Chains A and B, each alone.
Chain A
């Protein structure tokens, strides 16, 4: 079974621009979560989507948004990029639902550099 894939793997953007990152979950997984990883703040939860609906949200500004499609693929968008948005963005998928084991499987991440 293919793992979680994220595209692109690396991205360089300029302050003020916007960016869209993509995540394809493991087949059959309906929940997709996004995390930001930085040396200073560590791993922080951004949001989670389940069946095309945002189910959980972390403490990030509204510049960070996401969506999920009917095939469970998810995109994350960051508008008006700031230097502090430079990070590794990780996507994780899980079965979701009430009987889920809540095991999350992570993709390799997208390394975003804002200059």
Chain B
């Protein structure tokens, strides 16, 4: 069965600092990988996705993620965070031919001035 692990429950970074959120997955084949962001009281917004090809993918709001097959990881990065990036971030995996997404438990990001 597929699974997603986000080892960091809560991360605090200073505004302007770089950010890396970790995501590890377990799946028998190359999965479809996603990062979503959820602001308080809101639904989830898709930041970026990986299906195949270039292992470094660019997303919205200046985020990028790198797929590393050997480490079963899909970490999210941003070179310089803004106060508006404070939110909860979810990594998700979905197999080919199936709309069911399996989500990680999320990482809550706090930005300090």
User: Known: A102-B32, A106-B43, A107-B43. Is A43-B99 also a contact (CB below 8 A)?
Assistant: no
Q: How far is the CB of B1 from chain A (nearest CB, A)?
A: 11
Report yes or no: B103 in contact with A50, Cβ–Cβ below 8 A. Answer: no
Asked if B99 and A96 make an inter-chain contact with CB atoms under 8 angstroms apart, the answer reads yes
Give the one of A43, A45, A109 with max B CB within 10 A.
A43
**A107–B100 alpha-carbon span in the complex (Å):** 16
Which residues of chain A have C-beta atoms less than 8 A from B44's C-beta? 90, 92, 106
Q: Binding site of B, secondary structure by majority: helix, strand, loop or mixed?
A: loop
Q: List B contacts of A31 (CB < 8 A).
A: 99
Q: Enumerate chain A residues within 8 angstroms of B70, measured Cβ to Cβ.
A: none
B42 at the interface (CB under 8 A from A): yes
Please list the residues of chain A having a beta carbon within 8 angstroms of any beta carbon in chain B.
4, 31, 33, 35, 42-45, 48, 50, 55-56, 58, 90, 92, 94, 96, 98, 100-109
Whether A102 lies near B106 (C-beta < 8 A) is: no
Stretch binding the partner chain, chosen from B20-28, B45-53, B61-69: B45-53
- Report the count of interface residues on B (CB-CB < 8 A): 24
A-B pairs with beta carbons under 8 Å apart, 16 shown:
A33-B99, A33-B100, A42-B103, A48-B99, A55-B99, A56-B98, A56-B99, A56-B100, A58-B100, A90-B43, A92-B44, A102-B99, A104-B99, A106-B43, A108-B42, A109-B42
Chain A residues within 8 Å of B34, by CB = 103
Determine the distance from Cα of A108 to Cα of B98 in the docked complex, in whole angstroms: 23
Closest 6 CB pairs of A and B: A106-B43, A43-B103, A106-B44, A108-B43, A48-B99, A56-B100
Question: Is B99 a contact of A42 with CB atoms below 8 Å?
Answer: no
Q: Which residues from A are CB-within-8-Å of B43?
A: 4, 90, 106-109
B89 CB-CB contact with A under 8 Å: no
Measured CB to CB, the nearest residue on chain B to A42 is B105
Question: Does B13 make an interface contact (CB < 8 A)?
Answer: no
In the bound complex, CA of A14 to CA of B96 (Å): 40
**Given the complex of chains A and B, what is the CA–CA distance between A98 and B36 in angstroms?**
23
